[in-house]
Chain A
Amino acid sequence: MPKQKINQDWFKLDNSAKIFPSVSNSSETNTFRVTVTLKEEVNVELLQEAVNIILERYPMFKVRLKKGIFWAYFDYNSKPFIVQKMDHRVCGEIIPIENNGYLFKVLYHHKDIAIEMFHSLADGGGVMQLLKSLVYEYLLLNRKPVTPDNIIATKNDKPEFEEYEDANAKYYNKKNRKHIPEEKAYRVKGTYLDDDQTGLISGVLNTKQMLELARKNDMTVTEYLTSVMMYIIYKTQIQYREHMRSNEKPVKIFVPVNLRKHFPSKTLRNFTNFIKTNMRMDKPDISFEEIKVLVKEQFSQGIKKEELIRKMSENVAFEKNVFLRMTPYFLKNYVLKIGFNMLGIKLNTMSLTNIGRTVFPESMKPYIYDVTAAIYAGKFNTIGCAIVSYEDKFKITFTRSIIENQIEREFFRHLTSQGLDIEIESNYVEEYS
C-alpha cells in the first residue's frame, strides 16, 4: 500500500469499509451507537463547540463519501457539523444529505452524549477514542479540572499517520488466505417493527458480580455470555421444534474481536475480525454445560493468530482481485449488494459484541455516570447485543427489529437466577409499535 501523506484531504476506504456503502439501506443500516452518560444535563452550545474542536483533531472523521470510477472514497468535507437532539430512532440509517454529508451523528438527550457511526468510517474501538476525546473537550469547556493522563487524545496532539492506516492490508498474508465456505445460519423470526423503530432493552449489572460468575464457570465474560445467548436461543426458539426445517440450520453467533489487542496498530479505522460459534441444535435435550464446552472450544480455535490472519487475508484477497478492482464502481455496487444479500448476511444468527472495559482518566470519573453501546438490528439479524463496562457498571444492551422480546426476557432471567442484580433500561418500543 502506498504511503499516504498526513495533510492529505481524502482517504481510501479500508478493506472492511468497502462493503458497507453498497449494502446499507434503511433496514440494514450498519450503524452503531456509543453513549456516555454524564452526571449533569448536557449543554448544547458547549457540546457543539467541543465537536468543532475535536473534528480538527480527527480529520479522518471530517469527511463525506464520494463515488470514484472504481471505488468510493472519503473526501474532505468543508460543511459545518451540527449536533442533533436524539430522537426515537436507535442506530437508524445515516443519510448523508440530511447530515451535511457527514457519516456520523453526535446526539444529545438530557445527560447523554452519543455518537452514532456508520460502520464504514470506523469500528467500536475507533469511535470509543473519538467519544472520549469529545467528552474530555466538553468537560474542559465546562470548566472542569480534567487532565488527559495519556489516555485521551486532545486537540493539542498532532494526528498520527498510524491512525489512518488500513491495518487489514498491513497484516495481509498471501499464503494464508484459504476461503472456507460456510453454511447459512438459523434466523430468529418475529413480527417486524417499522424501519425507523428499534426495540432497545439494556441491563445494568455489577461488573464484579459478572466477572465472578464468569470465573466460576471457568470462562471469560464474552465466552460465558455467548454461551448463555446460544442456550437462550435454543430454549426460546428451537427446543421441541428441532425437527422443523428452518430450525435445522446451525445457530451462529458473530463475536467481533478487536484486533488492536492482537496486532500492534493504532488505527482508528476498521480493524476487527470475528469469532463465530456454530452449533446445530437438533436434539430436544441440549444442556447448558454442553454448549459451554463447545463455545469455549470454538473461541480458543477462533482466536488463534493464524486463524485471525486467514480471515483477514481472505477479505483482503477478495478486494485485491483484479477483476473486481477493474469493474466500474456502479457495477461493483450491484455485485457486492447481490453477493452480500445472497451469502454474507445469512451467515450469522446474531452479533454479540463486547467493546470491553472503558477507561477514563481519574480526573474525569467524577463527571461520568455510565457508558452504553448499541448495534443496529436488521431484517435478517433481527436481534443484536452490545456489551460495554465502565467501573462497576456492566451494561448489556439488546436491540431488536421485531416486537417479540422473549430472548431478552429469558436472557436476563437466566442472569438473575444466578443471583445477579439487574437494573433494566428500555425505550419502550411497545408503546408505539
Chain B
Amino acid sequence: MKYCNKCHISIKTNHNYCPLCHQTLEVTKDEEVVEKYPPYQGKLRPVKDITRKILMFISVTSIILLLVINFFTGLDILWSLIPIGSILYFWILMTVGIFSKHNIAFKLFILTITLIFFIYMIDELSSSEGWALNYVAPLLLGSCIIAISFIILIKRINYRDYITYLLLIVLFSIAPIVLILFDVITVLWPSLGLFVLAVFILLFIIFFFPKSIKDEIKKRFHA
C-alpha cells in the first residue's frame, strides 16, 4: 500500500509515483502487488506491411503513367483501360479473393461478376466481336453455379450462408436470356444451357429448402 500526501489517496501499485499528480508516493506498507491492469504490449495491430505498400505504389504510378501515355497517343482508342482494368482486378483478387475472411460463396460471387465486367470491357475495346457475352459470361456463371452447389453439397454445415449467393448468381444467370431478346447475344447455346442450369438449381432450392429461402429473404429485406 502506498500513499500520496498531496492528493490524500492510497494506492496499491509497484509504480512509485501518483497517477493523479505524478508526485513520489509514500510507502506505508512494503509489499509486492499484482498490478490491477496489464502493461502495454506494443501495437497489437500490425502496420500495413511493406509489400502491400510497394504494390500499391507501383499500381498507382503505373495507372497514372498509362493514362498520360494514352492521352498523348490519341484518345480515340482507350487502350489503357485494359492494363488499368487488369491492375484493379489484381487488387480485387488479392483483397476479396485471397485475404478477406468472407465465406467462399461470397468470394466466388464477387470475383465472377467483376471478371465478367472486365472481360466485356476488353472485348468492347478490342475488336468487339461479342465473344465475351456470347461465350465467356455464360460459361463463367455456369461454373460459378456448379462450384457453389458442390460446396453446399459437401460442406453442409453452413449452407444457410451460401444459399443467398447461390440464389443471387442464379438470378444473374437469367440476364443473358434478356440480352438474347435485345439481340446483344447472337450465339444461343451457351446462354440457353446456362438458363436451363439456373432454373434447375432454382427449382431444386425451392422444393428442398423452402424455409431457408424464406428466412433469408425476410432477414435481408426487413425494413
Hey, which bits of chain A sit against chain B, CB under 8 A?
10, 12, 66, 68-71, 73, 75, 78, 85-90, 97, 109-110, 112, 196-197, 200-201, 203, 325-326, 405, 408-409, 412-413, 416, 421-428, 430-432
**Chain B residue at smallest Cβ distance from A75:** B219
Given known contacts A69-B221, A201-B19, what 5 new A-B pairs fall within 8 Å (CB)? A70-B222, A85-B38, A110-B34, A426-B36, A430-B22
> How far does the alpha carbon of A421 sit from the alpha carbon of B1 in the complex, in Å?
14
Contacts A109-B37, A326-B223, A423-B9 known; A196 to B19 CB distance under 8 Å? no
Q: How far is the CA of A200 from the CA of B37 in the complex (A)?
A: 9
Contact of B222 (CB < 8 Å), options: A73, A97, A421: A73
CB distance from B110 to the nearest CB of A (A): 14
Question: Is there an interface contact between A69 and B220, defined as CB atoms closer than 8 Å?
Answer: yes
User: What's the least CB distance linking B92 to chain A, in Å?
Assistant: 18
Q: Are B37 and A413 in contact (CB under 8 A)?
A: no
Residue of A nearest to B14 (CB): A428
Determine the chain B residues whose CB is within 8 A of the CB of A196 once the complex forms. 43-45
Chain B residues at the A interface, C-beta cutoff of 8 Å: 7-13, 15, 18-22, 34-41, 43-45, 101, 157-158, 215, 219-223
Q: Which of B9, B35, B38, B220 contacts A412 (CB 8 A)?
A: B9
Please tell me if the beta carbons of A424 and B39 are within 8 angstroms of each other in the complex: no
Q: Are B220 and A203 in contact (CB under 8 A)?
A: no
Task: Please determine whether A416 and B8 come into contact, CB atoms closer than 8 angstroms.
Answer: yes
Q: With both chains docked as a complex, state the minimum distance between the C-beta of A172 and any C-beta of chain B, in angstroms.
A: 17
* Cβ B221 vs Cβ A68 within 8 A: yes
Q: Which of A69, A86, A405, A421 contacts B38 (CB 8 A)?
A: A86
**Chain A residues positioned under 8 Å from B35 (CB to CB):** 428
Decide yes or no: A408 and B15 within 8 Å by CB, A422-B10, A425-B36, A427-B37 being known contacts. no
Chain B: CB-nearest residue to A101: B101
- CB neighbours of A421 from chain B (8 A): 10
30 CB < 8 A contacts A-B: A10-B219, A66-B219, A68-B220, A69-B221, A70-B222, A73-B219, A78-B157, A86-B38, A87-B44, A88-B37, A88-B38, A88-B41, A89-B44, A325-B223, A405-B20, A409-B20, A412-B20, A413-B20, A416-B7, A424-B7, A425-B11, A425-B36, A426-B11, A426-B19, A426-B37, A427-B36, A427-B38, A428-B15, A430-B19, A430-B22
Which residues of B are found within 8 Å of A425, using beta-carbon distances? 11-12, 36-37
- Chain B's interface: helix, strand, loop or mixed, by majority? loop
The 9 A-B residue pairs with the shortest CB-CB distance in the complex, in nearest-first order: A427-B37, A426-B19, A432-B40, A409-B20, A68-B220, A70-B223, A416-B8, A424-B11, A88-B40
How far, in Å, is A34 (CB) from chain B's closest CB? 15
B40: A residues at CB distance < 8 A: 88, 197, 431-432
Separation in Å of the B18 CB from the closest CB of chain A? Answer: 8
A412 contacts B7, C-beta separation under 8 Å: yes
**Most A-side CB within 10 Å, residue of B9, B11, B101:** B9
Q: What residues of A have a CB within 8 angstroms of the CB of B15 in the complex?
A: 428, 431
A423 contacts across to B, CB distance below 8 A: 9-12
**Chain A positions within 8 Å of B41 at CB level:** 87-88
- Are B222 and A68 closer than 8 Å at their CB atoms? yes
Across the interface, do B9 and A78 meet the contact criterion of CB distance under 8 Å? Answer: no
Residues in A neighbouring B36, C-beta threshold 8 A: 112, 425-427
Residues of B within 8 A of A110 (CB): 34
Chain A residue nearest in CB terms to B220: A68
B223 to chain A, nearest CB (A): 4
Q: Which residues of B lie under 8 Å from residue A89 when comparing CB positions?
A: 44
A97 touches B223 (CB 8 A): no
Residue of A70, A409, A421 with highest tally of chain B CB at under 10 A: A409
| Residue numbers in B under 8 Å from A78 (CB-CB) | 157-158
